[in-house]
Each structure stands twice: as structure tokens, then as C-alpha cells.
Amino acid sequence: MKREPIKRGKYACALFFVLFLLTVTSCTSKKDVIYFQDSEYFASRGMDKTKHQVYIVTNDNLLIRVSALNPTAAEPFNSISQNVTYSGNMEWRGYLVDEKGEINFPVIGKISLAGLTKAAAESLLEEKIAQFISNPVVNIRIMNYKISILGEVNRPGSYTINDEKISLPQALALAGDLTIFGERRNVQIFRMQNGEKKVYTVDLTSPEIFYSPFFYLQQNDLVYIKPNGAKIRSGGLNQNLSLIISSITFLITVLSFAITNSKK
């Protein structure tokens, strides 16, 4: 007969523990976790015809190669340096886009490229160089094309993109995907446009992202994944966890003592 109060005390302890867990966790709907929901949306919307454009911005390091039918005529436009390594037998110097958006190109001199697409910049240089040689072909490559990902991902950091094209889902895959605590409906993209910092928000749970102008990331984009409500609540709880555990232990002890004495 004396063991019954002890069992009741154990049940009380278990009950309080369950209640404690319920207070620190939240019910997460699968709609808050699953990406690209509503697959029927794609059938009604059709294929996305948006073309990815690469824009040149300040601080870009550009590899510019000029070719022509007469290779000797193109040589003055292809500066060689011992400072920057490039694949192949020669070492090529990158052109840094300064704060004014300009580069200092051989023979031509100062020319503004910032704000242009890579294709437009190539056309502009071909037009300028055509004054000196026949039928020049210009190829531009951004040598320091990178994006950064911070917040609730498994591998936050900066990533260099060699092919100058990466979508938001691909970038998140590089970062090891979002953690379970990542806010998927409110992903922020920080982007420099026309000399101003802009912040855009996308929803990873919506298929509309595939048709968004922010589906493809730009050079130097910063992607930030906010913590969801459960992570924020648990973060605040952890600061007072010792006090909470002590308080619950005290309450369980008092309740067990009361139950035991009530049966005497």
C-alpha cells in the first residue's frame, strides 16, 4: 500500500516532463517545411522563359580576352601579367571594375562597364576595338563571381561560382540545405543594385519561385535564412533553462510529497 504514492509521484513526474516538452516545442505543419508545393501549378503556368542575365558590378575582376582573324593584331588588347594565374600556358591580368564602374583597357583607355550585362559589355568592347582591328571577338569572364549564404543552413559561407550562373535552390544545396529551424516562407536576398542595397523576400514553399526574377542569383548576392518561431522560442528558453528545470523539479517534489502525505 505504501508503494502507490510512489507510483503516483512517478506519474506526476512524467506528466510534468511531457508538459514541459510541449511548452518548448511547436507544432510544425508540413506546409511550412515542404518546398515548391502545388505541383499542378506548373501544368497551368507552363515553362519559364525568363533568361538569366549576368550583370557587371563594381569590384568585379574581369578576365577579358580579345581574338581576331589576325592574332597578332589582337595582341595589344590581351595584356599578360605574372601576378594572376589563369588556366593554360599564359597568365592573364584581370581588370578590376573600380568604384566609378570603369576599367582601364589597353589602347582604348577608361571605359564604363558597371551596370551592363556581360553580353552588352562584350558588344561595347567589340565596337571600340573594331576601330583598330577587323572583326574582333571579345569574351568576358567574371573571375570573382561568388554568393554568400548565412543563417539556418548546414554549411553557411561564401561560394565561388565558376559558370556565373546559379539558382537559389542550387545555392541552398551547396550550403547543405536549410536546417529544420529555417524559415522557408521568408528567405531574404540582399543585392546591390544601381549603387543601392536592396532586400527581397522569396517563399521557398511556393512554386512561384521558379518564375521569380530572384530565382537566379547575381554576383555578390547574400542569402539569409531566418530562424523560425520554434528556434527563436527555444533560444530564449535556453537562456533560462537551468532556472526552469530547477523550478519544475521543485514543483514535482512538492506535488509528490503532497500526494504521499495525503494517503497516510
Domain boundary among 142, 172, 197: 142
Judgement on whether residues 157 and 41 belong to the same structural domain of the protein: yes
The predicted pLDDT at position 208 comes to 86
- Residues 65, 133, single domain; the answer is yes
The pLDDT value recorded for residue 82 is: 37
Do residue 17 and residue 118 come from a single domain? no
Residue 95: band (very low, low, confident or very high) from pLDDT cuts 50, 70, 90: very high
Q: Which helix (H) or strand (E) holds 71?
A: helix 71-74
Do 157 and 219 belong together in one domain?
yes
CATH code of 204's domain? 3.10.560.10
151 in the same domain as 133: no
Q: Looking at the structure, do residues 43 and 174 belong to the same domain, yes or no?
A: yes
Q: Which residues 6+ apart lie within 8 Å of 79 measured at CB?
A: 92, 93, 106
Quote the CA–CA distance of 220 and 148 in Å, as a whole number: 7
88 and 218 co-located in one domain: no
Residue type, 190: F
Residue 102: name the closest of 82, 121, 120 by CA: 121
Q: Which of 104, 123, 142 is the last residue of a domain?
A: 142
Instruction: Write out the E strands in 59-125.
Output: 61-67, 95-96, 102-105, 109-112
Q: 131 and 90, same structural domain?
A: yes
208 compared with 188, residue with greater pLDDT? 188
Say yes or no: 97 and 200 in one domain: no
Q: Is the pTM of this model over 0.85?
A: no
Final residue of a structural domain among 111, 142, 173: 142
Q: Give the count of domains, the chain.
A: 3
Domain that holds residue 112: 61-142
Residues of the chain above pLDDT 90, percent: 47
Same domain, 84 and 157: no
d(CA 132, CA 151): 51
DSSP per-residue string spanning 114-167: TTSBHHHHHHHHHHHHTTTSSS-EEEEEETT-EEEEEESBSS-EEEE-TTS--B
pLDDT confidence band for 196 (50 / 70 / 90): confident
168 and 158: one domain?
yes
Q: What is the reported pLDDT for 132?
A: 94
Residues 129, 105, 115, 160, Cα dihedral to 10°: 120
Q: What is the pLDDT of residues 67-92, one digit of tens each?
A: 999 989 999 998 654 344 444 444 55
Same domain, 10 and 80: no
The better pLDDT of the pair 178, 5 is held by 178
CA 44 to chain centre: 29
